[in-house]
Every structure is written in structure tokens, then in C-alpha cells.
């Protein structure tokens, strides 16, 4: 099975997938840590794929999404984005809307707390 086939299967079989450096319990870069932290805090069930464990997956996910950086978040087969996009969507409430539209369970109070803690001045 090619890396692309493995990626397609992973994205198809899991409602939420984070391709990241490291694992959700031990992220190995700041950007991966931030996205995993948001998902963990919001109580979202997700599969984590450590791209550092497989160089073919690491390159394959960039080709698959046509997105040059890692982490990459997928919800119900749809590419959502990387760290900056997920952060912006979390703070604007768009991530909540996407999760609700896709039927993915999350802790709404936790997402409100993230927004509250990040309000300007």
C-alpha cells in the first residue's frame, strides 16, 4: 500500500485525524503541540499520525493535501488546515461550527473558555 493509500484510508476511517510531529500525548514541535492541545482540551476524539515515524507519510501528506506544512487537521475527510488556521478557527468559533455541522462531539464550554482566555484587552 502506498503512503497516499494509507493516508486516504486513515482519513476515511476516522472522523478527526491530526497528522503531526510526535503524538497527541508527546508532541514534538510547538505547532503540533498547539493543535493537539486545542483538540485535547475540547475533548475531541481523534486519531494522531506521527509523521516523524514514517518519511513516506511525512512527504505523502504534503502531496495529498497540497499543503506544505505539518500539522494538518482533517474532519470527516475534509482538510481543515494547519496550526494557524486551526487557531484562527478556534478563536472565531468557526471550528465549533464545522464540528457541529459534521456531527463531531466536543466540549462547547471548553471552546468558550479558550476564546475567553484569548480575548484582547
CATH for 38: 3.40.30.10
Bridge partners of residue 18, in order along the sequence:
48, 73
Query: What sections of the chain are H helices per DSSP?
Result: 3-13, 30-41, 55-65, 83-92, 94-102, 108-117
- Rounded to two decimals, the pTM is 0.95
The number of distinct structural domains making up the chain is 1
Asked if residue 40 is part of any domain, the answer here is: yes
Asked if residue 121 is part of any domain, the answer here is: no
Asked if residue 79 is part of any domain, the answer here is: yes
| pLDDT score recorded for residue 1 | 87
Asked if residue 59 is part of any domain, the answer here is: yes
pLDDT mean for each 10 residues of the chain (121 residues): 96 98 97 98 98 97 96 98 97 98 97 91 58
Asked if residue 73 is part of any domain, the answer here is: yes
Q: Which domain holds residue 82?
A: 3-116
Cα 23 off chain centre by: 12
| CB-CB neighbours of 103 under 10 Å | 9
| pLDDT score recorded for residue 119 | 86
Amino acid at each position: 500500500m502506498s503512503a497516499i493509500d494509507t493516508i486516504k484510508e486513515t482519513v476515511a476511517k476516522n472522523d478527526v485525524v491530526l497528522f503531526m510531529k510526535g503524538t497527541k500525548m508527546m508532541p514534538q514541535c510547538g505547532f503540533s503541540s498547539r493543535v493537539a492541545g486545542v483538540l485535547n482540551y475540547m475533548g475531541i476524539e481523534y486519531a494522531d499520525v506521527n509523521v516523524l515515524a514514517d518519511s513516506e507519510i511525512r512527504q505523502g501528506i504534503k502531496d495529498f493535501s497540497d499543503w506544505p506544512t505539518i500539522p494538518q487537521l482533517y474532519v470527516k475527510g475534509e482538510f481543515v488546515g494547519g496550526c494557524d488556521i486551526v487557531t484562527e478557527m478556534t478563536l472565531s468559533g468557526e471550528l465549533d461550527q464545522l464540528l457541529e455541522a459534521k456531527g463531531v462531539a466536543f466540549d462547547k464550554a471548553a471552546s468558550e473558555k479558550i476564546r475567553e482566555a484569548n480575548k484582547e484587552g
